[in-house]
Amino acid sequence: IAAVRGAIDDSPDVPYMSGTCILPRDQYRLFYCVNKQDGAPAHCIDLKTASPAQLAGLSAACEPASFGLNGENVLDNSYRLARKMDTSQFATTIDIHRSGLLRIVETELVKNASVFSSSFIVPELYKLNVYETGGFFKAHRDTPHATNMVGSLVLVLPTVHQGGQLALRHNDQEWQYDSAAALSPIQGVEPKIGYVAFYSDVEHEVLPVTSGFRITLTYNLYLESVPADPFVDRSFSASKEDRVQSAVAQLMADISTTLPKGGYLGFGLAFKYPVEDGCDIGLFRNRLKGPDALIMRVCEKLNLDASVCAVYRDDDCA
């Protein structure tokens, strides 16, 4: 078992990805209405060259941003100080399909190759957020909007700001994405957007913005499936997978020593998954992430009878 654990952990999966992306020059426009009423005046700003006054106007058209807590939307400026706009009020020319960004995110975040060839990410534009100077959002986890929601994609638009780093935490580790540094304008270099994609159970925090406007678009990422194409090979991290497969195969060869009295061999999940009352837990084999997906894939390749199960302790039923 230690050999299997070592094969999985020798190059641990980071539960997020980040970077920058240069878009075609016509994809930086943002259209928005100043309120939700029919016939409300519409505005258009070019995010490559937007002035502080234009960004202040956009912020003024937004509402105070709430957050989910125990199934309710809560407004508390001591926990989150930001503004938001619903998709009914704005539109953007940014195309995450044409830019290739969605394909990159799908490749990095979806690694369940046993179903990956028949799985794909469907993005849903969810919100526009504005963090003015002093804005922040304390540590939290996103509320899943469906059982097949695998994560979130946050685009940081090319507006000048300082601070506002996104801190991500998982399994006692922390990473930071500094959009201000990544998007710092350089003479003669095309403007670009920043992006961060992460699993839905990763804790994250927006650190205080010290100057300017930090403007983001958030997409919910859902995992959908279609019939597999047997002629398409979309496997990734083959060398790591081979090491894990070898370790599991050796473990099963010695199973009489590992489980001298018989029983079941179980692997605890590395990530959390949203489960609704009455949900068929078996369906989650197609929604596993990172090392969880890797173990399932290896078991299937070895023709093992693998399934996703809930494990209860006696005190859970007391």
Q: Where are the domains of the chain?
A: 12-225, 238-317
**What is the C-alpha separation between 171 and 221, in angstroms, rounded?**
22
Phi, psi of 77 (to 5 degrees): -70, -10
Query: Following CA atoms 105, 96, 193, 34 in sequence, which dihedral angle do they give, to the nearest 10 degrees?
Result: -130
User: CATH top-level class for 12-225?
Assistant: mainly beta
pTM metric for this prediction: 0.72
- If you ran DSSP here, which 8-state letter would residue 286 be given? G
Tell me what pLDDT residue 286 has.
76
Tell me what pLDDT residue 237 has.
53
Tell me what pLDDT residue 230 has.
45
How far is Cα of residue 22 from the mean position of the Cα atoms in its chain?
20
Tell me what pLDDT residue 173 has.
92
DSSP string across 157-171: PS--EEE--EEEEET
Tell me what pLDDT residue 312 has.
77
Tell me what pLDDT residue 127 has.
96
Contact partners, residue 293, CB within 8 Å, separation at least 6? 110, 111, 112, 113, 114, 116
Tokens, residue 56: 């202040």
Q: For the chain, which residues score pLDDT lower than 70?
A: 1-13, 38, 111-118, 187-188, 226-238, 315-318
